[in-house]
Amino acid sequence: MTDTTETPTPKRTQQAGSGGEGVRPIDSWETDFDHTHPDYAANAPQIWDELRDTCPVARSERFGGMWLPTRHEDIAAIAANENGWYTSHEVVVNQYSADDVMPPPIGGAPPITSDPPFHVDARRLLLAPFAPKKVNELVPFATDFCHSLLDSALAKAADSDGVFDAALDYTQAIPVRVIAEMLGLPAEDGDIFRTFIHHIVENPIERELEEEETAEYYLDRHIAEHAANPKPAGEGDLIDHLLGVELYGEKLAPEHVRGTILLLIVAGIDTTWSSIGSALWHFAQNPDDLKRFRDEPEVRPFAIEEFLRAYAPVTMARRVAEDHELAGCPMKAGDWMLLPFPAANRDPDMFEDADKFIIDRQKNRHGAFGLGIHRCLGSNLARMELTVALDVFVERVNEFELVDPASVRFSTGQIRGPRELPIRVHS
């Protein structure tokens, strides 16, 4: 039998990625949308569904001018970029001038900030470390780490009426620890990574950072330490790998090594944290799905894909590189183009009962990891972490529920998932 559940809506949200724009009220989602606005985070699936019917490519003058396509067909065509109409040089919408970012072809975080032909060569350098075989070697490490997190969380719950925060005490720590292990960075630097992500993805207008606080300073120090202490062949970590590989017959430029490490930190943490959190949020409110996941191991691989489809966390961005028309709308060079892969995943022309969570959905060619040449390089790792995190959780926690739906806090901006998720567990 198939379980279907309406995908629920978060109650409370956090403004992020706003650069100060997010508080201004929205006039209309068709002409004034803002993906950093709290109302967008709270209602995004409904907004996409309405726009798809009425105005499939929405426009906003915020952030200097943005477009928001909502149909799978348009999002896939933009991601494929066959005419070269878009550039990936900037992928997070911000208030800065394009002159402030690192020049092409490397950009600030290769390969995501690189366009063809450089992109494919920069991407190839990362394929081996993220191949299934390498990722599977990390399963015991990730499993032990998830158990250690739950040891602490459940001890905390025993002293506080069964309550702990599934986002803060569990989900947020998992991708941080795994990527630190892969890169050979200190296990205790998770908070430092999250601060970098906060500054890069959310662009808060706070204060000028001291040099020692910047990601560049931190990474340059660790890259220099790795370079000074080379490891025997086959024993190195990902930083050693990047220092050892060659592109066009030469070692990588220092800004390439640094940018790629930063990308792996930024791309791998909030994304996977969001996916694991959304899955637990769903289980907390849908005990029948939790029961099937626990009792029917054969359903689990389908459930993982359905979590990725129904709660896809990542909306990417591009800049329009050449004036052209899309769905009758005039795209101008320099405009921002959002790529809401979560909206593509809800398009009824692509998925039957697109708005329902179907735990054993069989036909599920979702776009959570992207739909074009920049398709996620870390998808094997993300699936592994999501699977291990949920397997360990259902092994250790029998039943659980939200303490209060209103106390769940979701992020806004381009990466969407629960940042505070207080739950009550019953053993």
> Which segments of 298-407 are extended strands (E)?
315-320, 324-326, 329-331, 336-340, 356-358, 399-402
The answer to whether 420 and 165 have CB atoms below 8 angstroms apart is yes
Extract the tokens encoding 59: 């426009």
Stretch touching ligand HEM by CB under 6 A, among 11-19, 138-146, 268-276, 346-354: 268-276
Q: What's the CA angle centered on 347, arms 346 and 352, to 5 degrees?
A: 85
- As measured in angstroms, the least distance from the Cβ of 199 to ligand HEM is 18
| Residue 368 is a binding residue for ligand HEM (CB under 6 A) | yes
CA proximity to 289, closest of 271, 311, 274: 311
Question: Among 202-210, 225-233, 313-321, 394-402, which window interacts with ligand HEM (CB under 6 A)?
Answer: 313-321
Decide if residue 384 touches ligand HEM (CB under 6 A). no
- Interface residue with ligand HEM among 38, 111, 129, 418 (CB under 6 A) is 111
* CB nearer to ligand HEM: pick between 58 and 314: 314
Near ligand HEM by CB under 6 A: residue from 11, 12, 123, 409? 123
Region 320-349 residues binding ligand HEM, contact defined as CB under 6 A: 341
Total interface residues for ligand HEM by CB under 6 A: 29
Residues β-bridged to residue 67: 59, 337
Among 51, 68, 77, 79, binds ligand HEM (CB under 6 A): 79
Shortest Cβ 71–ligand HEM spacing (Å): 16
The reply to whether 370 sits near ligand HEM by the rule CB under 6 A is yes
382 binds ligand HEM (CB under 6 A): yes
Collapsing DSSP to helix, strand or coil, 217 comes out as: helix
Instruction: Pull the structure tokens for residue 282.
Output: 């769903």
Q: What are phi and psi of 287, to 5 degrees?
A: -60, -25
β-strands 246-247, 57-60: how paired?
unpaired
By the 10 Å C-beta count (0-12 exposed, 13-18 middle, 19+ buried), 370 is classed as buried
| 369 lies in the site for ligand HEM, by CB under 6 A | yes
Q: Which is nearer to ligand HEM, 29 or 130 (CB)?
A: 130
Shorter beta-carbon distance to ligand HEM: residue 17 or 372: 372
C-beta of 368: minimal distance to ligand HEM in Å?
Answer: 5
Complex with ligand HEM: residue 111 or 422, whichever CB lies closer? 111
If we measure between CA atoms, which residue out of 331, 334, 339 comes closest to residue 319?
334
- Least separation in angstroms between residue 378's CB and ligand HEM is 2
Q: How many helices (H) and strands (E) does the chain have?
A: 14, 17
Q: Pick from 92, 176, 321, 376: which binds ligand HEM (CB under 6 A)?
A: 376
Which residue's CB is nearer to ligand HEM, number 37 or number 119? 119
- Cα 285 to Cα 293: distance, rounded to the nearest angstrom: 14
Neighbours of 243 (CB within 10 A): 16
- Nearest Cα to 373, choosing from 74, 106, 81, 132? 81
User: Over the Cα atoms of the chain, what is R_g?
Assistant: 21
Distance CA 164, CA 242 (A): 39
**Which residue is closest to ligand HEM by CB?**
378
The amino acid that residue 263 corresponds to is L
- Cβ atoms of residues 354 and 346 within 8 Å: yes
Contact between 377 and ligand HEM (CB under 6 A)?
Answer: yes
Residue 210 CB, nearest distance to ligand HEM (Å)? 27
What residues numbered 140-169 form the site for ligand HEM, per CB under 6 A?
none
Residue 378 interacts with ligand HEM (CB under 6 A): yes or no: yes
Footprint of ligand HEM (CB under 6 A): 79, 111-112, 123, 175, 179, 263-264, 267-268, 271-272, 275, 312-314, 316, 341, 368-370, 372, 374-378, 381-382
